[in-house]
Amino acid sequence: MRWSHYYLYTTREVPADAEVPSHRLMLRAGLIRKTAAGIYTYTPFGWRSLAKLKAIVRREIDRAGGLEMSMPMVQPAELWKKSGRWQRYGKELARLEDRHGREFCLGPTHEEVITTMVGRDLSSFRQLPINLYQIQTKFRDEIRPRFGLMRGREFLMKDAYSFHTTAECLDTTYQAMAAAYRKIFEACHLDYTMVEADTGAIGGSDSHEFMVLAQTGESEVVHNATDGYAANVEKAEIGALRAPAQEEAVDRREVATPGASTVKEVAELLGVDVLKVVKTLLYQTDQGVVAVVMRGDREVNEVKLQNLLDAEFVAMANEAAVREATGAPVGFAGPIGLAEGVRLIADESVRPLTNFVCGANKDDAHFTGVNWGRDAEPDQWADLLLAAAGDPSPLGGGELVSSRGIEVGHIFKLGTKYSEAMGCDFHSEGGGKEPMIMGCYGLGIGRTVAAAIEQNHDEDGIIWPIPLAPFQLLLLSLNAKDEAVTAAAEALYGQFQEAGIDVLFDDRKERPGVKFKDADLIGIPIRVVVGAKSLAEGQVEMSLRRTREREMVAKEGVLARVRELLAAPA
Ligand code: ATP
Ligand code: MG
């Protein structure tokens, strides 16, 4: 491709809302253009990179037994009412009406459509298992679209759905898809990890996320290199925490703690260790108001809480609700004397505490010397602790380490949730009718490309991994007015094209400085520079964007060297 005939416009300026490197660089390198908040146009240059990822995804999902198809973006409301998600999905679901007043939505995902189709077409165990997938545009009206392609409202996803007669059969496909995902991210040269993920209210089944490790990632993962445990922090279990020393019970006393409402302030005021002070957090949920007693120095995992309650939503109670439940302003809640109907759940981490301090449900007051059993008893004990770096791994290998990740893929054993709701049944070998057992497998196309840039860039621009680069090679001719240079560059361009190498030829009549700056910004992995001086000695300069190492190569040997570099690992 000749740059002079191409649609590739780099820019210096980036909007202030471009907070992360991949977003800034995708705009500056002319890969994407913003059309509206969270809605982007992919330029011919950017689209090439997405196309390369799509080809890798297709190759591996096909090998894992997937059959490619395509489903509509506009979906009738009836399907979503049938699954119950028309109400439950909330505002992320963009709804619309046609001219006849019929309701539709823009598909944020496709379980309803695929399950309906499969339920109509298949009826026998003999037709299963089946694994269907598409690479298609999704729309989710995200509350906070940001980071460019990383969290868009309109975005491309590869989504696959598998249908089975038994849990064992689902497991086989699930493992095959996990292996396919590994191959995809390895083929892209990404540094990634597979972690256990929350399964939500469906519970019980397996779910794993694929995380590309990057500082700017929105997810937190914890792992232990010795025992191999790795999980999204939302899901992470923790080994036994060290139990505090048990004390002889003392009398419970109410003490004045004016103005001291945080654990730290209370501990300082009373001169006790923060570990002696518990906090009591109030939540509003669709299952009523819940008070959670937690170790003073630790956080509640709200996903665990939501799963425990089987709740649709869980949110911190507002000031008025706190006052109603405790009779006190925020900061003085405790497990003793809560209002009628408030469910009290205590985290396992506070069970071994003796003579602890808690809020007295009274303005400016706390209790000291509180003991479980004698002074208070929760309705339920539960594990609601949010894992943190330094906690013991549940597999016993030592401390957990925390890192940030970008969730690029998510695989999930759905079970019969959708097949039951949508009536997707099969006749079993025994003759009975049973709901099909399902798995689903998502992979964000744009998010993965953005993650690749997040992991591969420097202050000058993108450093594409070869498999995702829009072009493999950038050919630069420096002295456009020099006939020998032009002729040599044209000859090399012809050679590269003939050899099937993905080449972008910067034949623009720009100054060398401009060309080099752009070359660094767009980050094509291999660079070949034809300039008058070296050409006089029969040589051209070659370099790699990643290492910036330069070498002089006789112009007859360039093609062979390029082939060598393309074959080399990463
Ligand atoms: P998140 O927690 O980041 O919102 P999700 O759990 O909603 O993700 P899934 O429904 O599992 O995501 O979607 C499958 C994949 O689609 C994700 O792993 C991610 O790669 C991609 N994806 C999801 N939402 C977006 C988005 N708003 N923009 C770009 N890609 C997305
Ligand atoms: Mg989401």
CATH topology of 253-382 equal to that of 471-567? no
Pocket test for ligand 1, best of 219, 407, 414 (most atoms within 8 A of CB): 407
Ligand 1: nearest atom to the Cα of 140: 27
Residue 398 DSSP SS3: coil
Pocket test for ligand 1, best of 411, 447, 454 (most atoms within 8 A of CB): 447
Beta strands in 151-218 (DSSP E): 154-164, 192-196, 207-213
Region 261-276: mean pLDDT is 93
Beta strands in 392-460 (DSSP E): 401-415, 425-427, 433-435, 437-444, 457-458
> What's the gap in Å between 87 CA and the centre of ligand 1?
20
- For position 201, what pLDDT does the model report? 58
Could you give the CA distance from residue 214 to residue 450 in angstroms, rounded to a whole number? 11
Region 455-477: mean pLDDT is 97
> What's the gap in Å between 95 CA and the centre of ligand 1?
19
CB 107 within 8 A of CB 94: no
| DSSP code per residue over 337-387 | SPPTTPEEEEEGGGTT--SEEEE-SSTTEEEEEE-BTTTB--SEEE--BPP
Ligand closest in space to the Cα of 152: 1
Region 419-448: mean pLDDT is 96
Ligand 1: nearest atom to the Cα of 412: 11
**Residue with token string 């509350």:** 143
Percent of the chain surpassing pLDDT 70:
99
202 has a pLDDT exceeding 70: no
Work out the end-to-end distance of the chain between its first and last CA atoms, rounded to an integer number of angstroms.
24
pLDDT bin (cut points 50, 70, 90) of residue 505 is very high
Could you give the CA distance from residue 514 to residue 506 in angstroms, rounded to a whole number? 11
Q: Which amino acid residue places its CA nearest to atom 14 of ligand 1?
A: 442
Q: Which amino acid residue places its CA nearest to atom 6 of ligand 1?
A: 410
> What's the gap in Å between 441 CA and the centre of ligand 2?
14
> What's the gap in Å between 180 CA and the centre of ligand 2?
23
38 has a pLDDT exceeding 70: yes
Q: Which amino acid residue places its CA nearest to atom 12 of ligand 1?
A: 410
Q: Which amino acid residue places its CA nearest to atom 24 of ligand 1?
A: 151
Q: Which amino acid residue places its CA nearest to atom 3 of ligand 1?
A: 407
Strand order in the sheet with 253-256: 253-256, 365-370, 356-359
pLDDT bin (cut points 50, 70, 90) of residue 485 is very high
Structure tokens at 68: 């490619």
Ligand 1: nearest atom to the Cα of 409: 18
Domain boundaries, the chain: 3-237+402-453, 253-382, 471-567
> What's the gap in Å between 410 CA and the centre of ligand 1?
8
Region 206-215: mean pLDDT is 95
Pocket test for ligand 1, best of 153, 157, 235 (most atoms within 8 A of CB): 157
Could you give the CA distance from residue 414 to residue 205 in angstroms, rounded to a whole number? 7
> What's the gap in Å between 496 CA and the centre of ligand 2?
43
Ligand closest in space to the Cα of 218: 1
Q: Which residues line ligand 1 (CB under 6 A)?
A: 109, 140, 142, 151-152, 155, 157, 407-410, 442, 444, 446-447
Ligand closest in space to the Cα of 155: 1
User: Which amino acid is present at 406?
Assistant: I
pTM attached to this predicted model:
0.92
**Residue with token string 């005939």:** 5
Ligand closest in space to the Cα of 141: 1
User: Between 2.60.40.10, 3.30.572.10, 3.40.50.800, 3.40.50.12160, what CATH number should domain 471-567 receive?
Assistant: 3.40.50.800
Q: Which amino acid residue places its CA nearest to atom 26 of ligand 1?
A: 151
Ligand closest in space to the Cα of 138: 1
**Residue with token string 């006190």:** 328
Ligand closest in space to the Cα of 154: 1
User: Which amino acid is present at 18?
Assistant: A
User: Between 3.40.50.11540, 3.30.470.20, 3.90.960.10, 3.90.120.10, what CATH number should domain 253-382 receive?
Assistant: 3.90.960.10
Q: Which amino acid residue places its CA nearest to atom 23 of ligand 1?
A: 444
Residues 517, 10, 562, 52, CA torsion sign: positive
pLDDT bin (cut points 50, 70, 90) of residue 441 is very high
Region 92-112: mean pLDDT is 97
Helices (H) and strands (E) in the chain, counts: 15, 31
- For position 569, what pLDDT does the model report? 67
- For position 211, what pLDDT does the model report? 98
233 has a pLDDT exceeding 60: yes
Residue among 160, 175, 149, 181 nearest 57 (CA): 181
Region 241-268: mean pLDDT is 92
Ligand 1: nearest atom to the Cα of 407: 18
Q: Which residues contact 283 (CB under 8 A, 6 or more apart)?
A: 289, 290, 291, 292, 302, 305, 314, 315, 316, 317
Pocket test for ligand 1, best of 218, 233, 410, 443 (most atoms within 8 A of CB): 410
> What's the gap in Å between 140 CA and the centre of ligand 2?
8
Ligand closest in space to the Cα of 442: 1
Residue among 318, 313, 359 nearest 337 (CA): 359
CATH number belonging to domain 3-237+402-453: 3.30.930.10
